[in-house]
């Protein structure tokens, strides 16, 4: 790379809210939660309170698939009716009866309320032992915060607390606010592996005596949502012993028999249940419209937006790769995309990627002696990640140059809202009253510098290209060949092959290799050969996984291109890695594949996820799995292994894979890694604009002289051995 950035996005933002502000948030949330328990006790029949009281104080959490009050009742009854772990014994969950049977409503409320003088209630990082000593209200708050941070990627504890306060401690409303603010669809499914693990982790974090009981209750009630509504939302009458008996019967059933798919509720059931009650009027809240960054705005929030936007930009590059012909990727434009395929320009982001890729290849052709002499079926993961990060910095720089009143956080929000389309972002910004300061080309110049464009001056010299009206292509499917012809026609005509000028250009290209020392000259072809060999391993694995998938579906698929790999995926928890010399049994991989013999000539390749063994010899022991993930986002599903490595792999939302179960270890504090550590690790890897080893694979002596100058190689063979597998 040829540029240098002065700072990172978010550096100027305050790191977090003040301690006083967070303590105030926690006090308000605990007041809301105490109000839920007060209403729950009003719902329960007087004769049932004494027998249910011990279960409520131990396991009556206010989080789950229903509204807070209904969750308290359901979780209480679920624990009360759950069979003990062992048939008999003195430690049999205290059997929910005994000396506590004479508890009154008033005494129960006193035990629910958290002690405001206990400073531990403001600490979100209590040990499991300390959490066991907290009241049910404080443990419920811990569970609410934990669910949000385990379900959503890049979501800090500070953000979770702020969103919960905005939502009045209602988990479903908080999730709606987050999804609206993240510009995502509102569909939600509690049966997805990610949601189930997040709910289980929330119960563990909240010191629920039996987290599996809470999870089973949530799945059972969710599958019978209509019947639960009839019981819990049947007018103003309190719950009767008969309705409690029905709930108990349902909650005793095994969750493994449940096959119904749960959909996220469009509104809080608590609002429906209490809309005519005076108690609800006192605590009624209005759901604010997004964005809510002025209430949440901190470094953590800006960091979260940046990582979310990088995920969206990654999806744009996957879409562009699907539109580019396979033969163009294999030979000409594989390297051109990595070098100059930025997503800003005169068209929509996907068209800009293709446009800039074609323009770069036509303007800066790779010298023949440095070109690939084999088909490139894979794009290096780190190189693509860096290009996406460069595009992000270019987009933000463009908007802030043209609109000086914008903050970085504002820029990220506009880009998130418009799916990284600077044309649409400019329209929205002007509609919101921000004054336009400089011209398009001035903004483009700053964007090129901040995005480490290989040659900003050459980009600006193509004024005709950027001033051309491409609007006629925006509403139709991009035809790659048509766009390539158009770009070629707009560029200066190449000199004839026998001209003196052309001979001088060839001589210059040949002599430019003088910048390389002898070790660098040996390293470059060796790096290409290593890339070819490692690519062959991944292609072999992908083809095997595709063949198995094709046999299951009855449709043959052909590999289009591999577009993301993480080779560090563990079979068991990563806590035990040091015992196994950091042996990684699996790798996660994304690739595009095309159905053979499709009748639709315009059908694009589909995006797939596969989990494959890192060895050639244990396919029977560790068989590959393969799933299409065409409509998924990077942040739709969690994977500890990929997040800690900062690799943007799109995982299947409704399937299981390795990397999910580390979060249980984190929730139980066996792991030692906290959620904020995962966010920092991801940000460190994802927001990295620097020279990487892949640059030697794509080395062009005309454009990369600075790389050679700053990275002298003393022993090329040793350097290659230290690389490990190229991915």
Contact 317, 384 (CB under 8 A): yes
Nearest alpha carbon to residue 13 among 302, 292, 294, 293: 302
Residue 264's H or E segment, with its range, is none
- 237 DSSP 8-state letter: P
Written in H, E and C, the secondary structure of 91-160 is: CCHHHHCCHHHHCCHHHHHHHHCCCCCCHHHHCCCCCHHHHHCCCHHHHHHHHHHHHHHHHCCCCCHHHH
Q: Is the pLDDT of residue 712 over 70?
A: yes
The whole-number pLDDT of residue 452 equals: 87
Mean pLDDT score, 170-194:
79
What are the residues whose beta carbons fall under 8 Å from the beta carbon of 183, sequence distance 6 or more?
Answer: 416, 417, 419
**In the predicted model, is pLDDT for residue 589 greater than 90?**
yes
Asked if residue 130 has pLDDT above 70, the reply is yes
Return the domain boundaries, the chain. Answer: 23-293, 294-511, 518-723
The model's pLDDT over 289-331, given as tens digits with 9 standing for 90+, comes to 334 444 455 777 888 889 889 999 999 999 888 888 877 777 6
Buried b (16+ CB within 10 A) or exposed e, 474-487: eeeebeeeebbebb
- Decide which of 204 and 296 is more confident: 204
pLDDT above 90 coverage of the chain, percent = 14
| Residues 265-289: tens digit of each pLDDT | 222 333 333 333 333 334 334 433 3
Question: In the structure, what pLDDT confidence band is assigned to residue 93 with cuts at 50, 70 and 90?
Answer: very low
Residue 69: which residues within 8 A CB-CB, separation 6 or more? Answer: 36, 39, 40, 43, 62, 270, 273, 274
- Average pLDDT over the chain, rounded to an integer: 76
Q: Which long-range contacts (CB under 8 A, 24 or more apart) does 30-35 make?
A: 30/114, 30/121, 30/137, 30/138, 30/141, 32/168, 32/169, 32/283, 33/62, 33/68, 33/137, 33/140, 33/141, 33/169, 34/109, 34/112, 34/113, 34/137, 35/279, 35/283
Distance between CA 14 and CA 11 in Å, rounded?
8
Q: Which strands make up the sheet holding 606-613, listed edge to edge?
A: 557-569, 586-595, 606-613, 625-628
Closest CA to 587 of 563, 600, 568: 568
Query: Helices 408-417 and 422-431, interaxial angle, to 10°?
Result: 120
pLDDT over 80 at 185, yes or no: no
pLDDT number for residue 32: 92
Q: Is 468 left (phi over 0), alpha (psi -120 to 50) or beta?
A: beta
51-55, 82-86, 92-96, 561-565, range with the lowest pLDDT? 92-96
Query: What pTM was computed for the model?
Result: 0.82
Q: What is the pLDDT of residue 322?
A: 87
Residue 194: predicted pLDDT: 85
Task: Considering only residues 485 and 18, tell me which one the structure prediction assigns the higher pLDDT.
Answer: 485
Distance CA 59, CA 207 (A): 9
In this prediction, residue 469 carries a pLDDT of 52
Distance CA 591, CA 606 (A): 8
Is residue 375 within 8 Å of residue 331, measured between CB atoms?
yes
Which pLDDT value is given to residue 3? 57
What are 467-493's pLDDT values in tens digits? 555 544 444 445 566 666 666 665 655
∠ CA 224-230-236, rounded to 5°: 145
Cα-to-chain-centroid distance, residue 525: 36
Rounded to an integer, the average pLDDT of 252-262 is 34
**Cβ neighbours, 10 Å, residue 116:** 11
Model pLDDT, residue 387: 93
Q: Is 184 left (phi over 0), alpha (psi -120 to 50) or beta?
A: beta
Distance CA 569, CA 578 (A): 14
Report the candidate in 340, 343, 342, 350 with the shortest Cα–Cα distance to residue 320: 350
| pLDDT, tens digit (0-9, with 9 covering 90-100), for 57-66 | 888 899 988 8
- Among 2-16, 69-83, 463-477, 594-608, name the most confident range: 69-83
Report for 4-18, 267-281, 374-388, 510-524: range of highest mean pLDDT: 374-388
Confidence label for 580 from pLDDT (cuts 50, 70 and 90): low
Res. 89 pLDDT band, cuts 50 70 90: very low
For residues 448 and 459, the answer to whether their CB atoms sit within 8 Å is yes
CB burial readout 222-232, b (16+ within 10 A) else e: bbbbeebbebb
pLDDT, residue 463, reads 55
Polymer length of the chain:
727
The answer to whether 186 and 266 have CB atoms below 8 angstroms apart is: yes
Quick check: 200 pLDDT over 50? yes
Average pLDDT rounded to a whole number, residues 411-438: 89
Measured between alpha carbons, how far is 698 from 705 in angstroms, rounded to an integer?
A: 13
Please say if the pLDDT value at position 433 is more than 50.
yes
Instruction: Look at 278 and 463; give whichever has higher pLDDT.
Output: 463
Q: What's the confidence (pLDDT) of residue 540? A: 92
Mention every residue, 6+ apart, whose C-beta is less than 8 A from residue 104: 49
Candidates 59, 101, 98; CA nearest to 80 is 59
Q: For 647-657, what is the mean pLDDT?
A: 88
Strand pairing of 625-628 and 606-613?
antiparallel
pLDDT per position as a tens digit, 96-107: 444 444 467 677
Q: Are 337 and 353 a contacting pair, CB within 8 Å?
A: yes
What pLDDT score was predicted for residue 489? 62
What percentage of the chain exceeds 70 in pLDDT? 72
Beta bridge partners of 591: 562, 608
Query: What pLDDT shows up at residue 592?
Result: 92
User: Each residue of 212-226: pLDDT tens digit?
Assistant: 888 888 877 765 544
183-197, 377-391, 631-645: lowest mean pLDDT where? 183-197
Rounded average pLDDT over 407-434: 90
* pLDDT of amino acid 101: 43
């Amino acid at each position: 790379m040829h540029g240098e950035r002065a700072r990172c996005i978010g550096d100027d933002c305050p790191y977090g809210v003040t301690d006083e502000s967070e303590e105030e948030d926690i006090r308000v949330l605990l007041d809301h939660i105490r109000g839920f328990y007060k209403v729950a006790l009003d719902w329960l029949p007087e004769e049932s309170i004494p027998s249910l009281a011990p279960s409520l104080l131990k396991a009556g959490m206010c989080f789950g698939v229903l509204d807070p009050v209904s969750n308290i009742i359901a979780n209480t009854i679920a624990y009360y009716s759950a069979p003990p772990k062992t048939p008999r014994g003195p430690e049999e969950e205290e059997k929910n009866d005994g000396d506590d049977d004479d508890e009154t409503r008033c005494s129960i409320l006193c035990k629910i309320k958290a002690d405001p003088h206990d400073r531990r209630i403001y600490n979100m990082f209590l040990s499991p032992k300390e959490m066991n000593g907290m009241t049910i209200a404080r443990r419920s708050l811990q569970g609410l915060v934990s669910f949000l941070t385990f379900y959503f990627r890049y979501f800090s504890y500070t953000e979770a607390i702020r969103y919960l306060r905005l939502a009045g401690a209602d988990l479903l409303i908080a999730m709606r606010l987050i999804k609206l603010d993240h510009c995502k669809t509102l569909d939600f499914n509690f049966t997805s592996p990610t949601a189930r693990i997040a709910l289980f982790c929330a119960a563990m974090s909240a010191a629920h005596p039996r987290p599996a009981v809470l999870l089973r209750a949530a799945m059972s009630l969710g599958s019978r949502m209509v019947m639960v509504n009839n019981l819990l939302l049947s007018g103003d009458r309190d719950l009767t012993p008969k309705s409690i008996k029905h709930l108990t019967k349902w909650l005793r059933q095994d969750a493994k028999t449940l096959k119904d798919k749960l959909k996220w509720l469009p509104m809080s059931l608590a609002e429906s249940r209490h809309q005519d009650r005076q108690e609800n009027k006192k605590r009624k809240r209005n759901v604010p419209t997004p964005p809510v960054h002025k209430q949440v705005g901190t470094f953590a929030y800006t960091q979260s937006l940046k990582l979310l936007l990088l995920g969206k930009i990654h999806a744009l590059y996957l879409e562009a790769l699907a539109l580019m012909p396979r033969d163009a990727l294999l030979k000409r434009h594989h390297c051109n995309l990595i070098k100059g395929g930025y997503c800003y320009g005169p068209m929509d982001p996907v068209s800009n990627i293709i446009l800039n890729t074609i323009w770069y290849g036509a303007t800066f052709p790779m010298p023949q002696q440095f070109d690939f002499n084999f088909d490139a079926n894979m794009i290096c993961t780190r190189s693509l990640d860096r290009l996406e990060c460069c595009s992000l910095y270019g987009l933000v720089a463009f908007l802030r140059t043209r609109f000086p009143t914008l903050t970085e956080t504002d820029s990220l929000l506009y880009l998130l809202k418009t799916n990284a389309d600077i044309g649409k972002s400019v329209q929205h910004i002007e509609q919101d009253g921000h004054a336009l300061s400089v011209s398009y080309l001035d903004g483009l110049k700053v964007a090129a510098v901040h995005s480490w464009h290989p040659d900003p001056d050459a980009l600006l010299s193509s004024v005709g290209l950027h001033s051309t009206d491409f609007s006629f292509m925006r509403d139709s499917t991009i035809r790659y060949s048509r766009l390539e012809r158009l770009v070629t026609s707009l560029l200066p005509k190449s000199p004839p092959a026998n001209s003196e000028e052309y001979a001088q250009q060839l001589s210059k290209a040949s002599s430019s290799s003088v910048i390389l020392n002898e070790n660098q000259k040996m390293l470059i072809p060796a790096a290409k050969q290593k890339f070819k060999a490692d690519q062959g391993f991944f292609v072999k694995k992908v083809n095997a996984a595709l063949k198995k998938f094709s046999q299951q579906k009855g449709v043959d698929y052909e590999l289009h291109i591999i577009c993301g790999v993480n080779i560090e995926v563990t079979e068991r928890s990563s806590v035990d890695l040091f015992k196994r010399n950091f042996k990684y049994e699996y790798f996660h991989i994304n690739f595009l594949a095309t159905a053979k013999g499709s009748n639709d000539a315009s059908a694009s390749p589909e995006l797939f996820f596969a989990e494959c063994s890192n060895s050639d010899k244990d396919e029977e022991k560790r068989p590959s799995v393969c799933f299409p993930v065409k409509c998924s986002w990077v942040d739709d599903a969690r994977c500890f292994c990929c997040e800690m490595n900062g690799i943007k792999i799109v995982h299947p939302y409704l399937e299981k894979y390795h990397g999910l179960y580390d979060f249980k270890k984190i929730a139980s504090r066996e792991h030692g890694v906290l959620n904020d550590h995962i966010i920092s690790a991801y940000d460190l890897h994802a927001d990295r604009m620097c020279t990487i080893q892949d640059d030697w694979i794509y080395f062009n002596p005309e454009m990369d002289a600075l790389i050679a100058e700053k990275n002298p190689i003393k022993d090329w063979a040793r350097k290659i051995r230290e690389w490990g597998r190229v991915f």
